Amino acid sequence: MNMTIESFPDAPDSWDLNTAKETARAAGVKLNDDHWDLIRALQEYYRKVEFPHMRQIKDALEEKFHSRGGMRYLYQIIPGGPVAEGCRLAGLNVPAGAVDKSFGSVA
């Protein structure tokens, strides 16, 4: 897939492809087309919803990626949490509840 900033029409103004690549490298994630699909989906969702909530984001991702296995699949490609790490890759604020360090859980 040929990636250009134009491929991400809902990206935040401060985000670019290099930012995502650097964030992924720091997290030990090697970006592929599925990661870019997740980034695009999160950016699109955040553009549509004024106050994104954890449960709604997870539901939207489950629906969007249902044919690939939903959230289970997304956890396979981003073990650090498809919402938390996905939002970081997409240049978005991580929603409250995505990371609970006291339990070591990540969404």
Burial label, 18 (beta-carbon count in 10 A; 0-12, 13-18, 19+): exposed
Task: Check: CB of residue 97 under 8 Å from CB of residue 105.
Answer: no
The whole-angstrom distance between residue 95's C-alpha and the CA centroid of its chain comes to: 11
Q: What is the pLDDT of residue 77?
A: 94
Task: Check: CB of residue 90 under 8 Å from CB of residue 39.
Answer: yes
79: which DSSP letter? T
pLDDT, average across residues 92-104: 69
Q: What is the pLDDT of residue 37?
A: 97
CA dihedral 56, 57, 62, 67 (to 10 degrees): 130
Which domain, by its residues, includes 101?
Answer: 15-106
> Has residue 1 been placed in a domain?
no
> Has residue 83 been placed in a domain?
yes
Over the range 46-59, which residues count as b (16 or more CB within 10 Å of their CB) and which as e?
A: beeeeebeeeebbe
> Has residue 9 been placed in a domain?
no
What are the beta bridge partners of residue 106?
99
Q: What is the pLDDT of residue 91?
A: 96
> Has residue 4 been placed in a domain?
no
Task: Read off the pLDDT band of 40 (50, 70, 90).
Answer: very high
* Mean pLDDT for the chain overall: 89
Residue 62 has pLDDT above 80, yes or no: yes
pLDDT, average across residues 70-88: 93
Task: Read off the pLDDT band of 99 (50, 70, 90).
Answer: low
Q: How many domains does the structure of the chain reveal?
A: 1
Query: Tokens for 30?
Result: 């090697």
> Has residue 6 been placed in a domain?
no
